[in-house]
Every structure is written in C-alpha cells, then in structure tokens.
Amino acid sequence: MRSDASSVVKGLFLIFASICAWYFGYLFAEIIPEDHLSSAVYRIQSIGEKPVIKAPPPKRQKCDHWTACPPDTYAYRLLSGGGKDNFAKICFEDELLIGEKKGNVARGINIAIVNYNTGKVTQTQYFDMYEGDNSGPMTAFIKNAPERSLLLMVTHDDGSTRLKNDAKSAIEALGSKEIQNMRFRSSWVFLAAKGFQLPDYLQREKINHSDNAKNRYSGWPAEIQIEGCIPRKPS
C-alpha cells in the first residue's frame, strides 16, 4: 500500500512540477520581448567564437584614383569616349572639367585649359573633326592658351577626319608623339604643358585605333585613359 501511495504522490508531484514549469515559461516569454530573448540566445551561442574584424571601406580618392596623390600634386584623369554613347571625361583635382554631366562634351577633340599655378580651369571647348572647318579654330585655341597652362585633350567619336596639319603641328609642338598617327575614330588622350616641362615619368598620352576585328563597340575601339599626379612645382 505504501508503495502505491508513494507512486501516486510522485506522479502528482511531476504533474504539478510540469504545470509550474509551463506557467513560469509562459510568464517569462510574456515579460521578456522576443528580440531581447533572441539577442541573449545569440550572445550565448557566440561565446567562444573568434571576433570578426571588418576592414573599413576604402576611402574614395580624387578623380577615382586607386591611391591618393601626394598633397603637393594635382590629380588628373583623362578618359576618351567609347562608342557612341560613352562620352569622354576630363577630371582634374576631383573636379569634372569636361563630361556628359557638365554638358560640354561632343564629337571631335575636347580640350580643357588649366592654370598651372592655381590649378583652376580657365577654358573648355570641343571641336568637331567630322563636320565643319574646326581645325583652324582649334589651332588658334591651343596657341592662345596662356603660358604656364596645362592642356588636357580627349577624343569622342572621330577626331581625325578634318584634322589638318596646322593643328597636328601645334599639338606635336606640345610634346605629342601620336597626333600624327590619328586615324578615323581613334581613341586618344593627351596631357600637355605650355611654358614649362612636365616630369618624364608622368603618363601623358595614349592612343587606340579602330580595328573591326578588335573593336569593343560596333565601329569603335574601346575607350582609353591615363591618370597620375602632377607636381605643383615642375622638376
């Protein structure tokens, strides 16, 4: 009899304990918000795990350079046009001098003139070399650039069809080695200095000719670019 009574007592105790556990669990869930409970569980699970160190996002550099230019230099980036819809761009000291957003880029040769002493743009102009007689006006524009100026030139679409020898000679006098090699729709970029010398190590010119077997776009070669850091005092 004692054994039966003891079994009944134990059974009742287990039932009572289960009811109490359920009730306190219910109260616990109602009192503590779910998000706090989830955070607590996550913290418990994270004990012993190695901390994850996140690298800070890379800092954007002037003219989208990969690395920063020294403080005593000017950052530049020249990008030719690519195809019909990818317009040329000229960036100097993180300022867009010529580009689609500025509304001052067009077919032909696009030129920006920058005051070397101040780093400020003084003039921008584009010269259509497919239609019209714009080679002469471009020659005058280049020759009238003030001394101690930087001249930044990029092509969009075609820059050669109506490019005459006087304009080629004016650009060649500034140090271009490729202007005489310009062909129909060649992608071309050029950095020049008037009245002073740029260091030899600077990337100053690049050209890419149209080739139907290799063109990235239908009838056009791929765009090309140069970039670098110009010392504020010529070497």
> pLDDT truncated to tens, each residue of the chain (235 aa)?
555 656 655 656 667 666 755 555 554 455 545 545 455 555 555 555 666 666 666 678 999 999 999 999 999 999 999 988 899 999 999 999 999 999 999 999 999 999 999 999 999 999 999 999 999 999 999 999 999 999 999 999 999 999 999 999 999 999 999 999 999 999 999 999 999 999 999 999 999 999 888 889 988 899 999 999 999 975 5
d(CA 115, CA 137): 21
- Number of separate domains in the chain: 2
Q: Given CA atoms 112, 113, 119, 122 in this order, what sign does their dihedral have?
A: negative
At 195 the three-state DSSP class reads: coil
Indicate if 141 and 184 belong to the same structural domain. yes
Spatial CB neighbours of 234, under 8 Å, sequence gap ≥ 6: 193, 196, 197, 198, 199
DSSP H or E run through 91: strand 89-92
Residue-by-residue DSSP string for 11-55: HHHHHHHHHHHHHHHHHHHHHS-HHHHHHHHHHHHHTTPPPPPPP
Phi first, then psi: give them for residue 95, nearest 5 degrees.
Answer: -110, 130
| pTM for the model | 0.75
Indicate if 13 and 75 belong to the same structural domain. no
Indicate if 96 and 8 belong to the same structural domain. no
Token reading at 125? 């102009």
Domain of residue 206 covers 62-231
d(CA 24, CA 113): 79
With respect to residue 57, please indicate whether it lies within any of the assigned structural domains: no
In angstroms, what CA-CA distances link 146 with 125, 140, 143? Answer: 15, 12, 8
Written as one letter, the residue type at 137 is P
Indicate if 108 and 17 belong to the same structural domain. no
Indicate if 25 and 133 belong to the same structural domain. no
With respect to residue 27, please indicate whether it lies within any of the assigned structural domains: yes
Indicate if 187 and 103 belong to the same structural domain. yes
At 171 the three-state DSSP class reads: helix
For the chain, percent helix, then strand, then coil, each to nearest 5? 30, 25, 45
Residues comprising the chain, all counted: 235
d(CA 74, CA 69): 7
Per-residue model confidence (pLDDT) at position 51: 60
With respect to residue 53, please indicate whether it lies within any of the assigned structural domains: no
With respect to residue 216, please indicate whether it lies within any of the assigned structural domains: yes
Per-residue model confidence (pLDDT) at position 184: 95
